[in-house]
Amino acid sequence: MSISAQDVKRLREVTGVGMMDCKKALTEANGDFDAAIELLRKKGQKVAAKRADREAKEGLVVTASSADGKVGVLVEVNCETDFVARNDDFQKFGSDMADLVLAHKPADRDALLTLPYEGSTVETTITDLTGKIGEKIDVRRVAVVESADGKVVPYIHPGSRLGVLVDIAGDGDAEEVGRDIAMQVAALNPLAAHRDDVPDEVKEKEMEIAREVARSEGKPDNMVDKIATGKLERYFKDNVLTEQPFVKDASVKVSDLLKKAGLRVNRYVRFALGD
């Protein structure tokens, strides 16, 4: 039977699949529009199954925030190539996922996959999008940060491969200082916001490494713990956000910047693509 260009165009608008694939689906379905959609969906499932074992390390880190600034979210969406990461459909999907996470606050990726999206679920849409684009598409992780006493300041580094949320509170300019702190987290990737947040096992490991180094260098036994404690202090300076030198002015510690502004950091979340 004859398949009209109008039918092909309509199917493309509904599915987003290429014109030739739409025409083939309509031909195979004898012009039945709904059957053609089902054929294209099955094709997407086949493509998704074939690409299930492929690595999807490219993509985007996207964010969304509530109007009052009390809630911020980060979502990492993945594909196989940087070319697809710049694809309009993929970028829309990423933005939509951030909005969906903001609206529903799923506990994790698995909870996100079950949410309704565009007439089906996120999981089904990922399968369909994989078939449409021809690369493995996935959502790797999500984060929801809610501030009890301040606001959540988002930051996406140029290129959309790295994003940060900072929960910051106090009487100062949380927006401006929060963005500076988020840029600090993006640039230096601290282990924790405060030294008390560093796990005890990490502290002990650093102390033991420092002790072993001191002993191997022939330091006196009565000096080993003192040297190790000094090394741990240096570790805090390098790896704890509030004890790091401020990236815009190394003569100032982040804690000094926050104190002067009348602010404090409650916590932060950092997503770097593929980490």
| Assigned domain for 66 exists | yes
Q: What is the DSSP letter of 172?
A: S
Residue 221 lies in a domain: no
In a domain, 22, yes or no: yes
In a domain, 78, yes or no: yes
Query: Given the DSSP bridges, would you call strands 245-246 and 249-253 parallel, antiparallel or unpaired?
Result: antiparallel
Per-range mean pLDDT, top range of 13-22, 51-60, 76-85: 76-85
Q: Is residue 39 part of a domain?
A: yes
Quick one: 37 and 62 in the same domain? Answer: no
Residue 103 inside a domain? The answer is yes
Percent of the chain with pLDDT over 90: 60
Residues 44 and 68 in one domain: no
> Which of 18-27, 89-98, 192-201, 221-230 is least confident?
18-27
CATH number for position 10: 1.10.8.10
Do 39 and 82 have their domain in common? no
My answer on whether 12 and 71 are in the same domain is no
Residue 85 lies in a domain: yes
Range(s) of the domain holding residue 32: 5-50
pLDDT tens, residue by residue, 109-168: 999 999 999 888 999 888 888 877 778 889 999 999 999 999 999 999 999 999 999 999
At 265, is the secondary structure helix, strand, or coil?
A: strand
Same domain, yes or no: 65 and 137: yes
Pick the last residue of a domain from 91, 122, 146: 146
Are 138 and 85 members of one domain?
yes
Per residue in 60-112, pLDDT (tens digit) is 999 999 999 999 999 999 998 899 899 898 999 999 999 999 999 999 999 99
d(CA 146, CA 46): 39
Domain count, the chain: 2
Q: Does 159 map to a domain?
A: no
- Whether 142 and 62 map to the same domain: the answer is yes
Q: What is the pTM of this model?
A: 0.79
- Indicate if 71 and 140 belong to the same structural domain: yes
Output the domain CATH number for residue 88: 3.30.479.20
Helix (H) or strand (E) holding 153: strand 151-156
pLDDT of 252 higher than 80: yes
Tokens 């090394």 — which residue?
A: 231
- The reply to whether 81 and 129 lie within a common domain is yes
Structure tokens at 139: 């959502």
74 and 18 co-located in one domain = no
